[in-house]
Amino acid sequence: MSDPTDQPRSGSADQPRSGQIVRPYGDTTGDGMVQLSFTLPIEHSKVAEGAAEQLANKMGMDPALVVHAKPMGQGFTFFVVYGRVSHLVDTSKVEVVERDFPLLTPKEANAAIKQSLRRRLVVVGACIGTDAHTVGIDAILNIKGFAGEKGLEYYREIKVVNLGAQVSVPELVEAARTERADAVLVSQVVTQRDAHLLNTREMSAAFREAYPAASRPLLVVGGPRFNEGMAAELGVDRVFSRGTTPGEVASYLVHRATHGRDGAPQSTSSILAAPKEKAS
């Protein structure tokens, strides 16, 4: 749940990171050269290019060279700037969410669900809000899958209910109740005005309202611009970002179905370690 102790930890105990100081590589090792792209609300002109250079200078690029400038409709210009930064990166201070569950084959996942739940694991998926980008959630759920891996529909012990695009939060909660979902998988691709964050918070709040804590379905959100470290802040159990494969998601769901919050193996008929009951 949103309990911070339940979230994936930064770094990994079995993979200690040795500290290394690195700087960007452009033409030669350690030359500090980077490339940056952005749009300014200015008509393309010499002044616009100078403005782009000034912005890059203020961001720490020195020298900064405008290598591409293209008008983007009326009153806007897109820039690519190439230049040197003096910043160093200390890899021992990098914080990431490491995978903290084993990767299973579909056969292993099916066997674990059968043994632990003694029934099929029910997954309800959707793109919520006005988001119509279904390719990501379909990549995870549809049998055809993604990156050479079959989607969750391929797993005999997983029942998939894919609600598609532009599903409202009340519709999602209702479907989760009707299907007696163990896990709710939500996709958010559009990030304009932080829509992905606002929609996710609205969704997690609605599930907390609709379900007793112990029987709430597992809430999983995914999309290319999520920060995987934001699960607790968003009130969900797990965040998956770009490049996620169906096998990773299936393995996570199985791990949660077969382990308690403390990570200890459990044998129970519910994914959240509580008796399966219909929400009131």
What would you measure as the largest C-alpha separation in the chain, in angstroms?
69
Q: Is 187 a binder of ligand B12 (CB under 6 A)? A: yes
Q: Is 135 a binder of ligand B12 (CB under 6 A)? A: yes
C-beta of residue 154 within 8 angstroms of C-beta of residue 165: no
- The two tokens of residue 124 are 């309800």
Judge residue 237's burial from the number of C-beta atoms within 10 Å of its C-beta, 0-12 exposed, 13-18 middle, 19 or more buried.
buried
Dist CA 207 CA 195 (whole Å) = 18
Tell me which H or E stretch contains 37: strand 33-40
At 246, the amino acid letter reads P
- Please pick, from the candidates 57, 191, 268, 270, the single residue that binds ligand B12 as defined by CB under 6 A: 191
Judge residue 128's burial from the number of C-beta atoms within 10 Å of its C-beta, 0-12 exposed, 13-18 middle, 19 or more buried.
buried
Cβ proximity to ligand B12, 132 vs 214, nearer residue: 132
Q: Is 168 a binder of ligand B12 (CB under 6 A)? A: no
Q: Is 190 a binder of ligand B12 (CB under 6 A)? A: yes
The question of whether 70 is a catalytic residue gets the answer no
Radius of gyration from C-alpha coordinates of the chain:
23
Dist CA 267 CA 77 (whole Å) = 59
**Shortest Å, Cβ 94 to ligand B12:** 21
Q: Measured at CB, which residue is nearest to ligand B12?
A: 222
Q: Is 243 a binder of ligand B12 (CB under 6 A)? A: yes
Q: Is 163 a binder of ligand B12 (CB under 6 A)? A: no
**Shortest Å, Cβ 231 to ligand B12:** 12
Using CB under 6 A, count the residues that bind ligand B12. 29
Cβ proximity to ligand B12, 113 vs 127, nearer residue: 127
Residue 237's nearest CA partner among 225, 224, 255 is 255
Catalytic-labelled residue, pool 107, 114, 144, 150: 144
Q: Is 220 a binder of ligand B12 (CB under 6 A)? A: yes
Q: Which stretch binds ligand B12 (CB under 6 A): 10-18, 24-32, 105-113, 185-193?
A: 185-193
Binding residues for ligand B12, per CB under 6 A? 130-137, 139-140, 146, 185-187, 189-192, 220-224, 240-244, 249
Would you please indicate which residues are annotated as catalytic (active-site) residues?
A: 144
